[in-house]
Structure formats: C-alpha cells, structure tokens
Amino acid sequence: MEIFKQIAPLKAHLHALKQAGKSVGLVPTMGALHAGHLTLIEASKKQNQITVCSIFVNPTQFNNPVDLQKYPRTLDKDTILLEKVECDVIFCPDNLEMYPDSSLLKLNFGHLDAVMEGKFRPGHFSGVGLVVGKLFNIVEPDHAYFGQKDWQQFAVISQLVRELKFNLTLHSVPIARERDGLAMSSRNLRLQGEQRTNAIAFYHALLTAKDNLKRGESIDQVKKMVAAKIREYAGITLEYFEVADSKNLNLLERVKDSDHPILCIAGFAGDVRLIDNMFLD
C-alpha cells in the first residue's frame, strides 16, 4: 500500500497505473474508519484494479468549529485497517496541500442544499462539493464510492458530476449498521454510556415511521409520532425528520407524490450530531 501526503507524487503514481490500463476507484473519507467505510473500499476493489482511499478532515464543510475540533482523527489505526483490506493507495493531505490559498469559491446546489442537512448546516454542501471536486480532479477516478448514509451528499455530488461533466461513475453503498441497528459513524466514537445506548432512537424512529407510512398513516401523523418517540430517549434530541423524494429531495406531504421516497432523520445524542435514513421500499 502506498501512502501519499502530496498531490504531485500521487498524480504521477496514478498516471503510470492508468497508462498501464488499470481502472481507479476513489473512496473519499474523513478517516476514523469503521466497517461502513470498509464496505466502500470492498465495493471499489470489486470493480477496479486500484483503490484510492482519501483521508482528509475537510474544514470547509464544518459549519461548527467545535465539531471540527472534536472530529476523531485516528490515522495510524486507519492505515492498519486499510492495509488489512488491501487498499492500494491512501491519500492523506494536510490543509495546506488541499487549500494552499484562502478559499473563495462557494457552491450553491439550489434546492438540493436548501433542505434537511443544508438547512441545518449552512455552507456544509458548498464545502463538500469543493473538496470532492478537488479530489476528483486530483485522482481522476473511473469510479467513486459514497455511502447511502449521507444520501443528501450523494444527491449533491451527483449534481456536481452531471453539471461539471466529471468523467466518472458514482456508486452509492448501503448503510452499515452496528448490531443494535445504529448507523455506523466516525462520530459514534464520541458517544458515552447512555448516549450510545439511546442513540438507537433514530433507527427505531425510522423503522416505526416506515411501518406506519406503509400502513397508510399520513406523513404529518408520522412526523408527530417520530417527535414523541425521540422524546422517550434521555439525552436524545431531534433536529429534523423528513420524507423526501430520493432523486430530487423535494420534501413530501404525501408518499404517493414520489416513486421512491426516503425517510431522513437527524439529531443529537448529547452534543454528538447523528444522521440516518431509510428508503420506504
């Protein structure tokens, strides 16, 4: 496994491999890797001869400086994990390598970043689009892999790829969960005791919501149920629960207004922000 901190030698390394006809898959991450990230690596390894995992805690996507400061950083452990799953290349630049000049560019994804995560984390998707665009230009992958867990991110990046005509194929990989159903997340490392136990509230709320919607309850009724259910768990607070069209992220008032609705939830366990989602079908 090769490890690069700088862009130029990484590009030279990948150039030689591409000249030799090898296809390249990219898995962008912020590190503190868990089994969910490794499913993305696995998916890339199945489709490509070379898999590049980038590890970069991207400052421009954090709207909360405390969250950025507390974000777990475990590069040594990540390297061991990636070695074990036979990832080919790690790209772990520092801030200066990725942002040598002060960054001025802002990306606006219109409706796609006006709702849910975009509404509660202003500027988040501009930062995501910026760093993912940089990574696509640096690595020039044939395929790139993202988790369904960040579904809105996937919608935003799909738009980025379409509009800027990046020559690559995007893939969304299903959510990997802990035994009790909690969606795996690097931020779970920060959950202590009861916070960790009760963080399951979001998954339980999604399951019940899905069940109730399938039985014909209205989205309005289900929203009230979700708010009440989350209140039953000590230390857990709800930020939003929405049912959206999974393609255009339009928020739905009736499930029949979409061919493929997705249920999205976000909130806090203590001061740790968590998100989760589930397709209706």
**Among residues 18 and 177, whose Cβ is nearest to ligand AMP?**
177
In DSSP notation, 207-258 reads HHHHHHHHTT--HHHHHHHHHHHHHTSTTEEEEEEEEEETTT-PBPSSGGG-
**Among residues 255 and 263, whose Cβ is nearest to ligand AMP?**
263
**Among residues 151 and 241, whose Cβ is nearest to ligand AMP?**
151
Binding mask 163-202 toward ligand AMP (x if CB under 6 A, else -) reads: ----------x-xx------xxxx----------------
What gap in Å lies between CA 8 and CA 30, rounded to an integer? Answer: 21
Q: Least distance in Å: CB of 15 to ligand AMP?
A: 25
Nearest to 203 by CA among 228, 172, 178: 178
Q: Least distance in Å: CB of 230 to ligand AMP?
A: 20
Tokens 């857990």 identify what position? 236
Q: How many CA atoms lie within 13 A of 29 on its CB side?
A: 31
- Under rule CB under 6 A, which residues in 9-38 are in contact with ligand AMP? 29-30, 36-37
Q: How many CA atoms lie within 13 A of 50 on its CB side?
A: 23
Catalytic residue among 13, 15, 34, 37: 37
**Among residues 18 and 99, whose Cβ is nearest to ligand AMP?**
99
Nearest to 273 by CA among 179, 207, 199: 199
Taken as a whole, the chain contains a residue count of: 281
Residue type, 280: L
Q: Least distance in Å: CB of 240 to ligand AMP?
A: 18
- Under rule CB under 6 A, which residues in 121-160 are in contact with ligand AMP? 146-147, 149-150
Q: Least distance in Å: CB of 194 to ligand AMP?
A: 22
Is 13 part of the annotated catalytic residue set?
no
Q: Least distance in Å: CB of 256 to ligand AMP?
A: 29
41 three-state secondary structure = helix
- Under rule CB under 6 A, which residues in 35-74 are in contact with ligand AMP? 36-37, 39-40
**Among residues 14 and 40, whose Cβ is nearest to ligand AMP?**
40
What gap in Å lies between CA 278 and CA 135, rounded to an integer? Answer: 28
Q: Residue 34 has which token pair?
A: 């868990």
Q: Which residues bind ligand AMP (CB under 6 A)?
A: 29-30, 36-37, 39-40, 146-147, 149-150, 173, 175-176, 183-186
Provide the annotated active-site residues.
37
